[in-house]
Amino acid sequence: MSEHKNAANRLAGRRIIVTGAASGIGKATAELFAAEGAIVACLDRDIEAANAVAKSIDGFAFRVDISDEADVASTMSAIERKLERADGLVNAAGIMATGSLLDMPVALWRKIVDVNLVGTYLVTRGSVPLLRRSEGSTVVNIASAQGLLPNAPNHTAYAASKGGVVNLSRALAAELSPQIRVNTVCPGMVDTPMAVGNGGNAANYAMKRVARADEIANAILFLTSHDSSYVTGATLAVDGGRSFH
Ligand SMILES: NC(=O)c1ccc[n+]([C@@H]2O[C@H](COP(=O)([O-])OP(=O)(O)OC[C@H]3O[C@@H](n4cnc5c(N)ncnc54)[C@H](O)[C@@H]3O)[C@@H](O)[C@H]2O)c1
């Protein structure tokens, strides 16, 4: 973890659940959080890759399909047995597929909403009893710039799911305050396996480039650490100026 040169123990001893921790933004977040002193529960449907990440950061891996209610419930029991409480949750697991309104099969449309929106709801619902055992715990949901300004064609399912995550987070912030802070990060295009093959034009970004996963992880760290102690219900665009939110 020597690449995290600015680590300042901002999450010392905190127990954090990260979904999608096997790849991309979730993996970068798990690695950064461990460098900041956290014990990380790495959740993913890809258990082999999650195991590899957990091993590299002295964390714990759990296989889960976040869209499956029973699976989420048994995973939460396993986390409780291992960690007893949670001080933070990062919902980074997600899927993306494009297709025009008429061409995308209804089953795929539903699946995108089921994983991105219902999955975020199920994992948050399952985590709250553990988060309530901690003082000042946090939830950070990863939506998308497509949840703010859905200006790319063929994104109806993804944009609907991510717009749902933005408003779910606000509703959760109102309901879970003051004990649990809930905030949203909306990345633009990020250089991860998900972005490969999904096009995207860096010319549309004020910064004229796509993001690295660690740049998104740094924003998630701010919203998880005590540095953001008075921030809840916020939606932070980390999109190089794509949406100007
Ligand atoms: N990469 C981008 O350009 C971009 C832009 C905006 C938002 N996002 C969002 O950021 C989040 C992370 O994306 P990424 O780019 O790191 O993608 P990624 O594909 O690299 O990683 C996503 C991870 O989520 C896991 N996952 C998917 N479905 C799951 C399920 N049902 N149960 C458990 N795990 C599941 C995958 O196995 C994978 O490890 C997603 O919510 C995505 O929508 C990504």
Instruction: For residue 173, report the distance from its CA to the centre of ligand 1, in Å.
Output: 23
Q: What number of other Cβ atoms are within 10 A of residue 144's Cβ?
A: 29
The pLDDT score that the predictor gives to residue 207 is 93
Atom of ligand 1 nearest to the CA of 189: 3
The pLDDT, as a whole number, for residue 74 is 98
Q: Name the residue among 59, 33, 20, 81 with its Cα closest to residue 218.
A: 33
Residue 175 pLDDT: 98
Residue 100 is assigned to a structural domain of this protein:
yes
pLDDT of residue 135: 93
Ligand 1: lining residues by beta carbon, under 6 Å: 20, 22-26, 44-46, 64-67, 92-96, 115, 119, 142, 144, 187, 189-190, 192-195
Residues sharing a CB contact under 8 Å with residue 171, sequence separation 6 or more, in sequence order? none
- Tell me, yes or no, whether 7 lies in a domain: no
What pTM did the predictor assign? 0.97
**The ligand 1 atom nearest the CA atom of 200:** 3
Query: Does 169 reside within a domain?
Result: yes
58, part of any domain: yes
pLDDT averaged per 10 residues in sequence order, the chain, 245 residues:
75 98 98 98 98 98 98 98 98 98 98 98 98 97 96 95 98 98 97 76 87 98 98 97 83
Domain containing residue 45: 15-238
Q: What is the pLDDT of residue 76?
A: 98
The reply to whether 148 falls in a domain is yes
| Domain assignment of residue 215, yes or no | yes
Ligand 1 atom closest to the Cα of residue 211 is 3
DSSP secondary structure of 189-244: -BSSTTTTTS---GGGSTTSSPBPHHHHHHHHHHHHSGGGTT--S-EEEESTTSS-
Residue of the CA atom closest to atom 40 of ligand 1? 94
Tell me which of 42, 115, 190 to substitute to probe ligand 1's pocket, judged by most ligand atoms within 8 Å of the beta carbon. Answer: 190
Calculate how far, in angstroms, residue 137's C-alpha sits from the geometric centre of ligand 1.
23
Counting the structural domains of the chain, the total is 1
- 8 A C-beta contact, residue 57 and residue 83: no
List strands edge to edge, sheet with 235-238. 60-63, 39-44, 15-19, 88-91, 137-142, 180-187, 235-238
Reply yes or no on whether 158 is catalytic: yes
pLDDT of 62-115, one tens digit each?
999 999 999 999 999 999 999 999 999 999 999 999 999 999 999 999 999 999
Question: Which residues, including other chains, have CB under 8 Å from residue 214's CB and lie 6 or more apart?
Answer: 28, 32
Q: Residue 135: which of 178, 79, 174, 172 has the closest Cα?
A: 178
What distance in angstroms lies between residue 20's CA and the mean position of ligand 1's atoms?
6
With a CB cutoff of 8 Å and minimum separation 6, the contacts of 88 are: 11, 14, 15, 16, 17, 38, 131, 137, 138, 139, 140, 224
CA of residue 82 to ligand 1 center, whole Å = 25
Atom of ligand 1 nearest to the CA of 27: 16
CA distance 144 to 96: 11
The CATH number given to whatever domain includes residue 33 is: 3.40.50.720
Unique residue bearing structure tokens 């014990």: 39
The answer to whether residue 3 is domain-embedded is no
Q: How far apart are CA 173 and CA 170, in angstroms?
A: 5
244 lies in some domain:
no
**Which pLDDT score is estimated for 245?**
65
Q: How far is the CA of 198 from the centre of ligand 1 (A)?
A: 13
